[in-house]
A and B are shown apart, each in its own frame.
Chain A
Amino acid sequence: MALRDQLRIMVVDDMSTSRGLITQALDSFGIRNVASTDNGATALKAMETAPVHLVISDYNMPEMDGLKLLQSLRTAPKTKGVGFILITGRAERQIIEYGKKLGMNNFLKKPFDPNDLRKCIEAVVGRL
């Protein structure tokens, strides 16, 4: 019984291609409990009824960007302990540091290969 069998992940990205790439990679790691959505608001709502262990979110999204989502997660009692990985095209110091302040667990710069994603996840939750 490995961690990957139990880990529940929420993928948030406004671009369906990115969602596809991430879920495809997670699938290749054997992680089956993956949900995805194209915006932060839906993600928050969904997590109320179906909690997850880890959120993997894009930074640059309309309406609610990845860090605003993180902020909301950290302020709600039900989700404040959830793991959070930010995926970003530009790892600007300002963004990363603000993320760190908000309690971001890790980040990953685009483009990435599945192995990068795996390492990034394992650094947060442990060996898959």
Chain B
Amino acid sequence: MSDANDPMAEIRASFFIECEELMEAMQDGLTTLDEGDDDPETINVVFRAVHSIKGGAGAFGLEALVRFAHRYETALDDVRSNKFTPDADAMRLFFSCADHLSDLIRVCRDDDAIPDDRSAELLAQLDTLLGGAAEEEEEVSADDFEPMGVSISLDLDGLGDLPPLDFDVDDAAPMDETPCYHIRFKPEQEMFETGNEPQMLLRNLAALGEATIECDLRDLPPLEALAAETSYLSWDITLIADVDEAEIREIFEFVDGLCELSVRRAGSDTDAPAVTAPIETSSDGFADLPEPPATVPDDPDVPVAAAPAPVAAALAPSAPSAAPAPEEKTARKPAPAKAAGAAANGPKSVVRVDLERIERLVNLVGELVINQAMLSQSLEQAGLSPHSDAMNGLEEFQRLTRDIQDSVMMIRAQPVKSLFQRMSRIVRESSAGVGKNVRLVTVGEGTEVDKTVIERLADPLTHMIRNAVDHGLESTEDRRAAGKSAEGIVTLSAAHRSGRVIIEVSDDGAGINRKRVLEIATNKGLVPADASLTDSDIDNLLFAPGFSTASEVSDLSGRGVGMDVVKTAIQSLGGRITITSEAGKGTKFSISLPLTLAVLDGMVVNVADETLVVPLNVVVETLSLGAADVEMLRPGKYIVRVRGEFVPLFDLGVELGYREARDSYVGAIVLLIAYEDGARAALIIDGIQDQRQVVIKGLDDSFFRAPGIAAATILGDGQIALILDPADIIAEASGASRTEALSA
């Protein structure tokens, strides 16, 4: 970690962050080039990224990085200057170099050992490709250059004559300023009685120019005190339009005397809010600089601050002359030069924040959510009327809490692009490893996901991508034989769907060889030999612990981890993974993840005197069972009819081991659970308490992973409740019933 007090360490840390951004731009550029783009700016972007990385690396003495970047940069420069046109092989090498550069950056950042062998190998390949190490262009040494002084004489009296300071005020471009009006409009009761419509007036007003309209609700009484005939509303309008006041008043001509109207031009009095000009001045980042004196007083001992400041005086009129709020400008504390620099970086300003601080904020918001739940519970218990001020206030508080929470989660959200870019490298390396020709297609790179989710997705996704390349896609010969293009396609997509993130990895390979899968599973004793399984059952065997289809362990995916590890990783993120496959067409893995790991909307339910939380997003319906709805398939195995459809029915109390099965479930309360893959089930519970947001508190590793339990939370009354993973419960329950059925 960098020492916060050491500016160099701070710049070094920010260099590595900037490198990530540059690498991203570079990957983008290379991909575009690879697609045949010949816009010279594309290669320029790639070149510049390498160049910038080299420059920064030099400043921190990262020699290995500089050396490699230098040679790579030279190669790219040859492309840039049309000395060399890269073919597919060259592009592959460029990608490999980019990957290696990114590795070098990482080892430099972490002070790890430099993989010099790889550098040497790639450098040799670059040499072969471009015909030997390019001869270095002769560089000019500083000694060969005669610096040219500017007329800043050491005699400081001369400073006032400096050309830049001696700039002509009249040259300043005049600000074109559109008048800005503040209009306050309050209809009287009579205005409504005469059938005039405020909305129409406001619309006409807005048609004059750029209007910001705000409705003032301050006078609006609580509902019970509201008199329908009375006028409570008023409007504040800020209008930027090239019109005069009379034109504005004209709009209100017909309601003259029926409303209160004030029209005020901004800048016509001092308390007018600064609308256009001052914002302009400060956004260039310079108006706030402390002004140095342009001329130095004869007595050198006079402190600078006391010196007359003609520059400031000269600058003032050059700043928009009609600046309506000069007081505000001068009263502002002079900002340090650094801050001014940051502001000068343009409109899209970015603040880098230590992740720890965000974590703390997320935790605090979590506590706030719990606290708000507690407060609402005590207010309810206090027996306050739902129309009381306190309850109304609480409602507002709830809304605010939710908004704050959403905003905080937004801070943590990141586009999946960086993750997807890493996967394109995995595809390049793994396809080269097995001698297949593979293209990665990415969709929805801009989809934003919680940063932690992104980080923890990297390993499972890597494995899935390798799997797709290794097992999913056929060999080139087999593809040709099947009449497919030689190039296999792996698609990685991300999208937001109903409050969750869906990430899909699909290939256009041969699909799952179900016969083979079943054979292996049977041989390994994962299923009984005489089991009759559906296609989907067989596909899901891939997730079974101890299953691995690779008959010969390949170099890639056969690393001792199977899809069961992937599934566990996804589940630990509160996600689910499903698989679909079609013979000859390919296989698709679909991961569904929560948007955040911190909070969830839950339904608080009772089961056998336990309080549990069910994630609300999977509950589609609650119902009470009638005698005709339930059918028993055999003792302990029920289905329920919901609108003509049969859904398996499970007693949550039994599945969690809280109690024995009941004889009859007539009248029981049931949650209908549905997943986006179409799986449905009904869960019997004893009662529903509430729907509310709960803060997810992860269960410590020291707890044994209990099937069906995702996490825990603290409820409003301080009670601890477990958060369920219904999908897991259903899978366990149906798995159990299936094996029962099979062995029966």
Where the two chains meet, the residues of A that have a C-beta atom closer than 8 Å to any C-beta of B are 1, 3, 5-8, 11, 14-21, 23-24, 32-39, 42-43, 45-54, 60-62, 77-83, 89-93, 96-97, 100, 103-112, 120, 123-127
Contacts and interface: CB of A to CB of B under 8 A. Distances in A.
Contacts of A126: 149, 152-154
Given A54-B150, A83-B150, A109-B142, A37 B344 contact: yes
A11 B540 CA distance: 60
A78 B170 CA distance: 11
28 contacts: A1-B304, A3-B154, A17-B59, A20-B7, A24-B7, A24-B8, A33-B290, A33-B337, A35-B285, A35-B337, A39-B346, A42-B284, A42-B345, A46-B285, A46-B344, A48-B318, A49-B172, A49-B281, A50-B286, A60-B51, A62-B44, A77-B168, A81-B164, A82-B163, A82-B164, A93-B139, A104-B148, A124-B148
Given A39-B346, A77-B171, A107-B142, A15 B52 contact: yes
Contacts of A107: 140, 142, 145
Contacts of A111: 55, 58-59, 61
B615 interface: no
Contacts of A1: 156, 296, 300, 304
Query: Which of B18, B44, B45, B281 gathers most chain A CB within 10 Å?
Result: B18
B149 A17 contact: no
Contacts, number: 200
Contacts of A43: 344
A1 to B, nearest CB: 5
A35 B55 contact: no
Which bracket fits the contact residues of B? 35 or more
A109 to B, nearest CB: 7
B28 to A, nearest CB: 14
A124 B153 CA distance: 10
Contact of A90 (B15, B137, B149, B289): B137
Contact of A78 (B141, B150, B167, B345): B167
Given A39-B346, A82-B150, A105-B148, A49 B318 contact: yes
Contacts of B289: 33, 35, 50
Interface in B120-165: 137-142, 145, 147-154, 156, 159, 162-165
Interface string B440-475: 000000000000000000000000000000000000
Given A16-B18, A91-B140, A21 B59 contact: yes
Nearest to B74: A90
Given A15-B52, A91-B139, 20 more contacts: A1-B156, A1-B296, A1-B304, A19-B341, A39-B346, A42-B344, A50-B284, A50-B286, A62-B44, A77-B171, A78-B171, A81-B163, A89-B54, A93-B139, A104-B148, A109-B139, A111-B61, A120-B147, A123-B147, A127-B154
Contacts of A47: 164
Interface string B1-45: 000000110110011001000000000000000000000010011
Contacts of A15: 18, 52, 55-56
Q: What are the nearest 9 A-B pairs in CB distance? A: A81-B163, A111-B58, A50-B286, A36-B341, A123-B147, A51-B164, A83-B150, A106-B147, A17-B15
Contacts of B139: 90-93, 109
B287 A49 contact: yes
B177 to A, nearest CB: 16
A46 B55 contact: no
Interface in B293-339: 293, 296, 300, 304, 315, 318-319, 337-338
Nearest to A11: B341
Query: Which of B139, B140, B300, B345 gathers most chain A CB within 10 Å?
Result: B140
Query: Which of A15, A43, A125 gathers most chain B CB within 10 Å?
Result: A15
Given A35-B286, A53-B150, A126-B152, A96 B14 contact: no
B433 interface: no
Contacts of A50: 284, 286-287, 289, 315
Contacts of A24: 7-8, 11
B164 to A, nearest CB: 4
B168 A78 contact: yes
Nearest to A103: B148
B292 interface: yes
A59 B517 CA distance: 60
A89 B171 contact: no
A125 B55 contact: no
B173 interface: yes
B5 to A, nearest CB: 13
Contact of B14 (A16, A54, A81, A104): A16
B340 interface: yes
A1 B155 CA distance: 11
Contacts of A105: 147-150
